[in-house]
A = this chain, B = another copy of it.
Amino acid sequence: MPIPANDPTRKTWLPVADNSDFPIQNIPFGVFLTRDDIITIGTRIGDYAIDLGALHQLGYFKDIPLTDDIFLQDTLNDFISDGQKTWRAVRNRISEIFEISNDELKNNKDHKDVVLFAMNEIEMQLPVQIGDYTDFYSSKEHATNVGSMFRDPENALLPNWLHLPVGYHGRSSTIIPSGTPIRRPVGQTIPKEAEKPVFGPSKLVDFELEMAFITTDANVLGEPIPVHEAEDYIFGLVLFNDWSARDIQKWEYVPLGPFLAKSFASTISPWIVTLDALEPFRVDSPSQEPEPLPYLQLNGKHSFDISLEVDLITNDESATTVTKSNFKYMYWTMAQQLAHHTINGCKINSGDMMGSGTISGPTPDSYGSMLELSWQGKNPVKLNDGSERRFVEDNDTVVLRGYCKNSSVRIGFGEAATKLLPALEFKN
């Protein structure tokens, strides 16, 4: 069934630059603080943020069953909880309101005054209260690179990797929106061949280029989500930088997995781009050999062609694109991840988030972390200002970007940008 909001020929009466991430075919969802210090749920077209709370109060959604305060909230959780049929109806209706030939809002200056905000007047917030956050490890190239570096290039993938989407539980409380600076984390690391750990700032802070999807309430405790239904429970996607302290991780992670090496911060882009908006960019899923167990089998186009790139901006504002990758490189699809996650009956709630794992492509210029790009620091990455990087340095800003593009439309994610500040000073 076609989704009207995806019609590539549709134009809007709002100005939208040619290369904008946010044409009328996107219509992402987010939460923002207005110039009057009011928090509201909104969407974005071009460089305008649109207050959905105000639109709803003015009656623009009267034909859709919605509670009065559904958009007057500081998270999208309740709206996401309303389910796919409601998200789709709202997105289609927004598309209709802003369609170029529709005068109902276009010609109503009073309404426009309370509905439209220039992007530079507002402050984006975390779009959801993330109940549980899971991170997968689903790029074969990334897992192979890491396995080659730390174990054995001949047996880089562990035995379970090709049979299930390896994943682990992460920390929700430190997921932050783009623009929030972070501090270099402090902790225990073990110097080479030392017997005892030392204390201090991590020396190997890294980004991880990921995407993450946000779910709706999907099941009750004890019941799995079948793989062929899984996508119905995915609201949308964001860019995700899973900040990592490689030296802290190395010392702490055996046998229970990464902990403080990850939980100091993870950055998401603030606009959730719906799975509906990404429909035109479905591509074949990778062929999987050996064949997965039946509960993970799903034919068809369940991967998405999303171009990804990372800029590293130094303190003097010189930017270098250090990698270009693509979400379609993932070996395990989101549907498989969600089916696997729930095969044990694990309950999935509205606002849960699942990261893809670092998305590395097949070539060295498409790797998704400094660890891989500099190959453990052996091949420093050259920056445009003449300096070089093995890992991320103090006062560097890391910017993730992502977009889909075909001959008629470009759907983008904006950015997930984070500045790494120096560590707090400790008296120890």
CB <8 Å contact, B293 and A197: yes
Task: Please state the number of chain copies in the assembly.
Answer: 2
Cβ < 8 Å to B, chain A residues 381-427: 424, 426
**Chain B residues whose C-beta falls within 8 Å of the C-beta of A352 in the assembled complex:** 173
CB <8 Å contact, B264 and A137: no
Q: In the complex, how many angstroms separate the beta carbon of A345 from the nearest chain B beta carbon?
A: 5
A295 in the interface (beta carbon within 8 A): yes
CB <8 Å contact, A344 and B260: yes
A160 in the interface (beta carbon within 8 A): yes
Binding site for B on A (CB under 8 A): 131-132, 134, 137, 158-160, 163-164, 166-174, 176, 180, 182-183, 185-188, 190, 196-197, 199, 221-224, 245, 248, 251-261, 263-265, 290, 293-295, 340-341, 343-349, 352, 424, 426, 428
List the B residue with the shortest CB-CB distance to A262: B169
**Chain B residues whose C-beta falls within 8 Å of the C-beta of A265 in the assembled complex:** 221, 345
Measured in the bound complex, the distance between the Cα atoms of B348 and A132 in whole Å is 15
Partner of A255, one of B158, B176, B222, B293: B158
Q: For the complex, would chain A's binding face be called helix, strand, loop or mixed by DSSP majority?
A: loop
Partner of A257, one of B172, B221, B256: B256
CB <8 Å contact, B344 and A245: yes
Measured in the bound complex, the distance between the Cα atoms of B266 and A178 in whole Å is 34
**Chain B residues whose C-beta falls within 8 Å of the C-beta of A186 in the assembled complex:** 224, 343-345
Q: In the complex, how many angstroms separate the beta carbon of A32 from the nearest chain B beta carbon?
A: 20
Measured in the bound complex, the distance between the Cα atoms of B290 and A345 in whole Å is 42
CB <8 Å contact, A349 and B197: no
Given A167-B256, A188-B293, CB of A344 within 8 Å of CB of B222: no
Measured in the bound complex, the distance between the Cα atoms of B219 and A174 in whole Å is 12
Given A344-B186, A344-B245, A345-B185, CB of A255 within 8 Å of CB of B257: yes
List the B residue with the shortest CB-CB distance to A260: B344
CB <8 Å contact, B163 and A197: yes
CB <8 Å contact, B260 and A343: yes
CB <8 Å contact, B221 and A176: yes
List the B residue with the shortest CB-CB distance to A168: B256
A-B pairs, 4 with minimum CB distance: A257-B257, A185-B344, A168-B256, A169-B169
- Pairs A–B under 8 Å by Cβ, sample size 15: A159-B190, A160-B188, A160-B251, A164-B252, A168-B257, A173-B348, A182-B221, A187-B344, A253-B255, A255-B257, A260-B346, A261-B344, A264-B345, A293-B428, A295-B428
Measured in the bound complex, the distance between the Cα atoms of B252 and A158 in whole Å is 10
Measured in the bound complex, the distance between the Cα atoms of B150 and A254 in whole Å is 13
CB <8 Å contact, B223 and A424: yes
**Chain B residues whose C-beta falls within 8 Å of the C-beta of A259 in the assembled complex:** 134, 166-169
* Residue of A132, A197, A264 with most chain B CB atoms under a 10 A cut-off: A132
Measured in the bound complex, the distance between the Cα atoms of B164 and A166 in whole Å is 26
**Chain B residues whose C-beta falls within 8 Å of the C-beta of A169 in the assembled complex:** 168-171, 257, 259, 263
Measured in the bound complex, the distance between the Cα atoms of B344 and A197 in whole Å is 15
Q: In the complex, how many angstroms separate the beta carbon of A34 from the nearest chain B beta carbon?
A: 24
Q: In the complex, how many angstroms separate the beta carbon of A220 from the nearest chain B beta carbon?
A: 11
**Chain B residues whose C-beta falls within 8 Å of the C-beta of A160 in the assembled complex:** 188, 190, 197, 251-252, 254
**Chain B residues whose C-beta falls within 8 Å of the C-beta of A248 in the assembled complex:** 344
List the B residue with the shortest CB-CB distance to A357: B256
List the B residue with the shortest CB-CB distance to A251: B160
Q: Could you list 15 further interchain pairs (A-B, Cβ under 8 angstroms) beyond the known A183-B345, A222-B264, A263-B344?
A: A134-B171, A160-B190, A160-B251, A160-B252, A163-B188, A167-B256, A168-B168, A174-B346, A174-B347, A176-B221, A196-B290, A199-B294, A199-B295, A256-B257, A260-B343
